[in-house]
Amino acid sequence: MWIIKHRTIFYIFSAILIVASFVSLAIWGLQVGVDFKGGTVIEMTYPAGRPDKAMVESKIAETAQAISLGNYILRPIGDKDYSIKSRQVNESERQQLQAAFSNAGASAELKKINSIGPVIGGEATKKAVVSVILVILCIVLFITFAFRKVSKPVASWKFGLMAIVALAHDVIIPIGAFSILGHYFGYEVDTLFVTALLVILGFSIHDTIVVYDRIRENLKISDMEKDKKEFVTIVGESVRQTFVRSINTSMSTILALVALYFLGAEATRHFSLALIIGIAVGTYSSIFIASALLVTIQKFQDKKTA
């Protein structure tokens, strides 16, 4: 089947995306939100229209100096809003900063504030890492268990392993994307982003299982028939049979997410973007990479024993 036949092309494509992600991470890193780093983010809105940018910047700079704010990031958002991110500030410092916004020429209203202490930030980071590792672990165990009866020509644990490779691929690329988006547009990595990653993991496995399921079924059928088909043919057929269904499921989920991205609340906008990227990549990996990897492993095994 053409997808399996040309698997090298798809391997190369994925490799390019992954390398690009790593490069971006190495050069630009990620914009880590206060959820993990600790600090304060204040978002203000100017209902009557935003005053001159230079004015706002100088007023904030003045106040920042007065309260020894240290490093801060001041950023205009959309048409009417401004946000400032800095170390954690106490009540009086916060009031001064808010006042500075209002003194820049137009009155400003508070939209939202997030003030996280370093202890909570550190905990959140730990929890995020642990939960990602746990999810990956559980998924490996689950797949190994679900496919335990398949042992030839590829052992069941290898199914699990290849699924993990596909998963890693599905997680690295959205992170790389957010590294680029973070550098150019200030997109941050916060607890919602980690949540998105976990959902992507769950969804991608969901998709991969359907293909692997089909391969398993076809293997069984082929075993019972007189002329046993080659593994690569079986895999090819399985991919062809499940192709439409994979695309359609992802399609409906992505459609829902697109609606969320364009029409939904601001707070979940980046979240839905991360999900869209992740699910698109996840579907791609389930169809073009996950099964092809099984064939590659089998051919590799054959070469070793030959």
Partner 1 sequence: MAIMFKRRFWAFILIVLAAAVGYFVYSTNVKDSKYNFKLGLDLNGGTELIYQADTKDVVGGDVTSAMETLRDVIERRVNVFGVSEPVIQVESGERLLVELPGVTNIDEAVKMIGLTPSLEFKLLKKEFENATSSDVMAGKKNDELFDSTGLTGRLLEKSSVEFSGTTGDTAVALQFNSDGAKLFAEITKNNIGRHLAIFLDGDIKSMPVIREEIKGGKASISGGFTGSAGLKEAKTLVNNLNLGALPVPIELISTQTVGASLGNEAVKASMHAGLWAFLIIGIFLIVWYRLPGVLAVIALAIYTAINLALFKLIPVTMTAAGIAGFILSMGMAVDANILIFERTKEELKRGRELGDAIKEGFARAWLSIRDSNISSLITATILFFFSSTPMVKGFALVFGMGVLVSMFSAITATRTLLLAMKHDGAGKVMRFLFSSGISK
Please report whether residue 148 would count as binding partner 1 according to CB under 8 A.
no
Residue 254 CB, shortest distance to partner 1, in Å, is 7
Q: Which of 68, 263, 300, 304 is the binder for partner 1 (CB under 8 A)?
A: 263
C-beta of 29: minimal distance to partner 1 in Å? 22
Single-letter code of the amino acid located at 176: G
C-alpha pair distances (Å), 49 with each of 102, 253, 294, 305: 12, 37, 58, 73
* 230 scored as a contact of partner 1 (CB under 8 A): no
Binding flags for partner 1, 83-112, as an x/- string (CB under 8 A): --------x--xx-------------xxxx
In the set 10, 210, 237, 301, which binds partner 1 (CB under 8 A)? 210
Q: Distance (Å, rounded) from C-alpha 182 to C-alpha 128?
A: 19
Say whether residue 58 binds partner 1 (CB under 8 A): no
Torsion of CA 100, 102, 106, 112, to 10 degrees: 110
CA distances for 114 relative to 63, 117, 188, 213, 302, angstroms: 19, 10, 14, 45, 57
Q: Kindly indicate which of the ranges 15-23, 60-68, 139-147, 168-176 contains the residues binding partner 1, using the contact rule CB under 8 A.
A: 139-147
* Minimum CB distance to partner 1, residue 159 (Å): 12
- Give the DSSP H or E segment for 273: helix 269-284
Say whether residue 274 binds partner 1 (CB under 8 A).
Answer: no
Phi, psi for 120 (deg, rounded to 5)? -65, -40
Report the residue number, 95 or 151, with the smaller CB distance to partner 1.
Answer: 95
Q: Would you state the structure tokens that stand for residue 156, as one six-digit string? A: 């069941």
Three-class DSSP category at 188: coil
Q: Which residue in 97, 104, 209, 281 binds partner 1 (CB under 8 A)?
A: 209
Burial class, 146, CB count within 10 angstroms (exposed 0-12 / middle 13-18 / buried 19+): middle
Total residues contacting partner 1 by CB under 8 A comes to 67
Location of structure tokens 């689950």: 142
Binding site for partner 1 (CB under 8 A): 35, 45, 91, 94-95, 109-117, 119-120, 123-124, 127-128, 130-131, 134-135, 138-139, 142, 146, 191-192, 195, 198-199, 201-203, 205-207, 209-210, 213, 241, 244-245, 248-249, 251-260, 262-268, 271-272, 275
